[in-house]
Each structure stands twice: as structure tokens, then as C-alpha cells.
């Protein structure tokens, strides 16, 4: 249906442009066959491509959300070595799961994996569910991940639509509907389904994703050497750099943190982040968040700082770190660390925070920002 409407819309436009005399509208069969041939010759050898085990595919897909293959590769190997199947993951301590995830970011992915593993043990007797709606019900699994797992592991004819696929489809079909709109989502899902090779959904889906990752890249697509060049609407129209279209500009917010690194001899105070916020489940230091960065004088006089140190008789502000800039999706953090030495531990500190040995800090899952401070301190 969407294929027909695309062809009707396209019919209003000229397929010929002055520099490209041979542009031809694509057919679903040609696109998929070409992508699969290209994939066979160009695919990267990756461990999760050599398996049809849904558990391993699931882990790889979750790691690769928001993470480049080069960064995720070692994490994947470590994760599946430590938790080789659903049962070991379900029985693990959340802290162990988060520690293995440390440095990858987007920690809700790890927490959701852990919850979903328990779901599989509880609801499916430890066997990975095989049908699409059941996979979709797992915590942290959206349409894209469910489609990837079901098509790669079970050969279910369902099309994947991830960021790479959006880009390839938008350019191939000259589709200008914003990908972050409801209408865009429907159109792109329909387009993806229309070109799916239903007999070989795994090869097809992997091919189009890899093609987007390696060939039809966001900033430097190699159009001159592209096997789909003759069928590509955007290449014919000169609109490659304009597609895909996004309606909303991502708003980046800035946050300003002052960490108190409170030590008493070899002991140090940390806290587990339990709020619905970044880094939930990880550990950091007592924190003051303010609308702007505080000066040294403001830190010493700050009421929240005084509250944290209430009951401590001897607190010495030893060191004020440089400002660490830390970029997360949609957020820019500016953090400074203040080393505070105390010689007596107040009841308030003991009740509000976790007292541990400095040497034991490595046993806790820590955000990358805290690691950066510890390494450079
Ligand atoms: S010709 Fe360029 S824009 Fe079109 S599919 Fe190939 S790489 Fe992507």
C-alpha cells in the first residue's frame, strides 16, 4: 500500500535529474536482493552474527542500542562470559550486572535486562519466548529489538526499523516525513515491511542495518560506490544530506553538580542513586545540584553542604577540583569535586550515606564521570 502510494507520489516527480540520466524507481525485490548480496561481501564478522541463540542476540542488541560496535564488542564478550544464559543473569545481583555495564552508559538497559531475565524465568520457565508479542512484553524490549530477536533467531518475517534503517529508507525513497513523528513512524514501518524479504528476514534485516552503518552513513555516505545508487531517490534529487528529516531539535539541558568527597582516614562516603534520574542504581558521592556552578566561597557557605556535614566538628575543605564537563544524551553536566577531610564521623553522615574503604570503591558500579575524577585525582 505504502509502496503504491510512494510510486504514485514519485510519479508526479521526474526520476531524471541533469546529472543522473539513469535513475529508476526501486522495486522491493531488487532492493532486498542487492542489499543481501552487498551484505554477503561486506559484513563485519561479529560474534553475535554467528549464533541463532535468542539470549545472545538479545544481549548484543541491548548493548548496541546507543553504543557503537567498537565500544560494545568487549562488553558483549565479558557480559556473556559472566552471564552465559538467562538463568545466570536472572540469579545475579543487580550490582554485579551494573558493574559489568560500567562505562557503557544508559544503565537502565542493564537494569531492564536483569528484570527481563527474571521475567523469562518466571513467565516462560526460563525458555526464551519465541513469538513476537511475548518478546515485546519483556522489560526494555521495544519493537525494534523484538523484531531483531525474532527475525535473527526464529526467522519471523518482521522488519526491523532502527536509526540506520530510517536513514536508508528515507534516502532511497526520498521520504521526507519526519522520522520522529507518529506519521513518520507508521510510514517507515510500512516501507520497511514492503521491502522485507519474507523468506529470508534475518539476512534482509541484517543487511539493511549493516548497509546503513557502513555505506549509507549519516555524514559521509559513499554514494559514488553505492550498489543502490541507480535506485536512490535522494541521490537523484541531490537531497542525501537533507534526509532523514527530524521534526524536533533535541533540547540539551545543562546541570551543575558539586560533589563532596568526604574522607575520614581511609574511609570515604558514597551513596546509591535511587532517584528516577540518570545513573539509577550506581554509586556516587554526596551531591549538591545547583542552577549554576558554585564558587569556592559559595560551596563553603552553602546550606545543603552544611546540612550534609551537620554534626561533624572538624571538616577541612582540602581541595577544589577543576570543572569536569560530561556529555550525556540530552544533557551536559558540569561537575566539580571538593575533597573534605573530617576527623570525626557524625551520626547524620552514617545514616545518610554508605561508609566504605577508599580501596573498596572499585567494587561499586560507578558512573563514568566519577571514574574520570578518581583516575585524574
Ligand atoms: S546512493 Fe547514497 S544515499 Fe542513496 S542509498 Fe546509496 S549511499 Fe545511501
- DSSP track, 15-71: S-BTTBTT-----HHHHHHHHHHHHHHH----GGGG---HHHHHHHHHHHTTS-HHH
In a domain, 17, yes or no: yes
What local confidence, expressed as pLDDT, does residue 249 receive?
72
Domain presence at residue 272: yes
CB of 174 within 6 A of ligand 1: the answer is no
Q: Give the pLDDT of residue 214.
A: 95
In a domain, 283, yes or no: yes
- Ligand 1 in reach of 229 Cβ (< 6 A): yes
Does residue 212 fall inside a structural domain? Answer: yes
pLDDT digits (tens, 9 = 90+) for 59-82: 999 999 888 898 999 999 999 999
Q: How many domains does the chain have?
A: 2
Point out the domain boundary residue: 188, 213, 242. 242
Q: Which phi and psi (to 5°) does residue 138 adopt?
A: -70, 140
Sign of CA dihedral 39, 45, 46, 47: positive
Same domain, 86 and 26: yes
Per residue in 315-338, pLDDT (tens digit) is: 999 999 999 999 887 889 999 999
Residues 142, 119, 94, 325: what is their CA dihedral angle, to the nearest 10 degrees?
Answer: 10
Whether residues 139 and 9 fall in one domain: yes
CA of 45 to the centre of ligand 1 (A): 23
Three-state DSSP class for residue 329: coil
User: For ligand 1, what atom is nearest to the CA of residue 232?
Assistant: 4
Rounded CA gap, 80 and 98, in Å? 14
Distance 187 CA to ligand 1 centre (A): 19
In a shared domain, residues 214 and 87: yes
CA–CA distance from 254 to each of 64, 210, 251, 296 (Å)?
26, 34, 10, 20
| Residue 132: CB atoms within 10 Å | 17
Q: Are residues 214 and 257 in the same domain?
A: no
| 24 in any annotated domain | yes
Distance CA 242, CA 174 (A): 10
Nearest 10 degrees: CA dihedral of 308, 312, 316, 321? -20
The model's confidence at residue 25, banded by pLDDT at 50, 70 and 90, is low
Choice from 19, 191, 221 to test ligand 1 binding pocket (greatest atom count within 8 A of CB) = 221
- Confidence label for 14 from pLDDT (cuts 50, 70 and 90): very low
Residue 22 in this model has a pLDDT that exceeds 60: no
Ligand 1 center to residue 223 CA distance, Å? 5
Residues 80 and 150 in one domain: yes
The residue out of 242, 267, 287 marking a domain boundary is 242
- pLDDT of 187 reads 94
Reported confidence tier of residue 295, pLDDT bands at 50, 70, 90: very high
Q: Tell me the average pLDDT of the chain.
A: 90
Both 9 and 29 in one domain: the answer is: yes
Cell of 159: 522488519
On whether residue 247 sits in a domain, the answer given is no
Average pLDDT over residues 205-230: 94
Catalytic residue, from 50, 61, 130, 176: name it: 61
- Contact (Cβ atoms closer than 8 angstroms) between residue 350 and residue 268: no
Both 127 and 232 in one domain: the answer is: yes
- Determine if ligand 1 sits within 6 Å of the CB of residue 342: no
Provide φ and ψ at 333, rounded to 5°. Answer: -100, 140
In-domain check, residue 94: yes
Other Cβ atoms closer than 10 A to 328: 17
Q: Domain check: are 14 and 116 in the same one? A: yes
| 235 Cβ below 6 A of ligand 1 | yes
Co-location of 265 and 203 in the same domain = no
Domain of residue 16 covers 2-242
| Residue at a domain's end among 242, 263, 290 | 242
Q: Work out the average pLDDT over 146-163.
A: 97
User: In angstroms, what is the span from residue 242 Cα to ligand 1's centroid?
Assistant: 12
Q: Is 91 a catalytic residue?
A: no
Do 106 and 209 have their domain in common? yes
Please tell me the residue having the least CA distance from ligand 1 atom 4.
232
Please state at what angle helix 54-64 crosses helix 69-82, rounded to 10 degrees.
140
- The CATH number assigned to the domain holding 100 equals 1.10.340.30
Domain harbouring 266, CATH code: 3.90.79.10
Give how far Cα 331 sits from Cα of 281, 292, 326, 374, Å.
19, 14, 8, 22
pLDDT for residue 26: 60
Amino acid at each position: 500500500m505504502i509502496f503504491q502510494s510512494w510510486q504514485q507520489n514519485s510519479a508526479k516527480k521526474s526520476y531524471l535529474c541533469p546529472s543522473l540520466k539513469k535513475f529508476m524507481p526501486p522495486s522491493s525485490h531488487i532492493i532486498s536482493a542487492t542489499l543481501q548480496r552487498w551484505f554477503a561481501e561486506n559484513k563485519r564478522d561479529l560474534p553475535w552474527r554467528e549464533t541463532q541463540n535468542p539470549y545472545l542476540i538479545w544481549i548484543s542488541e541491548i548493548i548496541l542500542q546507543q553504543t557503537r560496535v567498537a565500544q560494545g564488542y568487549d562488553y558483549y564478550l565479558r557480559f556473556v562470559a559472566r552471564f552465559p544464559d538467562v538463568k545466570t543473569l536472572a540469579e545475579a545481583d543487580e550490582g554485579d550486572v551494573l558493574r559489568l555495564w560500567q562505562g557503557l552508559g544508559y544503565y537502565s538497559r542493564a537494569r531492564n535486562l536483569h528484570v527481563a531475565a527474571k521475567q523469562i524465568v518466571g513467565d516462560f520457565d526460563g525458555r526464551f519466548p519465541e513469538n513476537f508479542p511475548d518478546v515485546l512484553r519483556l522489560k526494555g524490549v521495544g519493537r525494534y529489538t523484538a523484531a531483531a530477536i525474532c527475525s535473527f533467531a526464529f526467522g519471523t518475517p518482521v522488519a526491523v526499523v532502527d536509526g540506520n534503517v530510517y536513514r536508508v529508507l528515507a534516502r532511497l525513497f526520498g521520504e521526507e516525513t519526519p522520522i520522529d513523528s507518529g506519521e513518520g513512524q507508521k510510514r517507515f514501518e510500512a516501507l520497511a515491511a514492503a521491502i522485507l524479504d519474507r523468506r529470508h528476514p534475518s539476512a534482509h534485516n541484517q543487511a539493511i542495518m549493516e548497509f546503513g552503518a557502513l555505506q549509507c552513513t549519516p555524514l559521509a555516505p559513499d554514494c559514488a560506490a553505492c550498489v543502490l545508487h541507480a535506485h536512490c531517490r535522494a541521490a537523484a534529487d541531490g537531497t542525501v544530506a537533507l534526509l532523514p528529516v527530524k521534526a524536533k531539535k533535541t533540547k540539551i539541558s545543562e546541570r551543575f553538580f558539586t560533589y563532596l568527597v568526604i574522607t575520614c582516614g581511609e574511609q570515604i562516603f558514597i551513596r546509591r542513586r535511587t532517584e528516577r534520574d540518570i545513573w539509577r542504581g550506581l554509586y556516587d558521592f554526596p551531591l549538591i545540584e545547583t542552577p549554576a556552578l558554585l564558587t569556592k566561597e559559595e560551596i563553603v557557605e552553602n546550606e545543603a553542604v552544611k546540612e550534609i556535614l551537620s554534626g561533624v566538628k572538624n571538616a577541612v575543605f582540602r581541595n577544589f577540583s577543576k570543572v569536569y564537563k560530561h556529555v550525556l544524551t540530552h544533557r551536559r553536566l558540569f561537575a566539580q569535586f571538593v575533597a573534605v577531610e573530617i576527623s570525626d564521623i557524625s551520626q547524620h553522615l552514617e545514616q545518610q550515606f554508605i561508609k566504605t574503604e577508599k580501596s573498596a570503591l572499585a567494587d561499586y558500579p560507578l558512573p563514568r564521570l566519577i571514574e574520570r575524577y578518581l583516575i585524574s585525582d
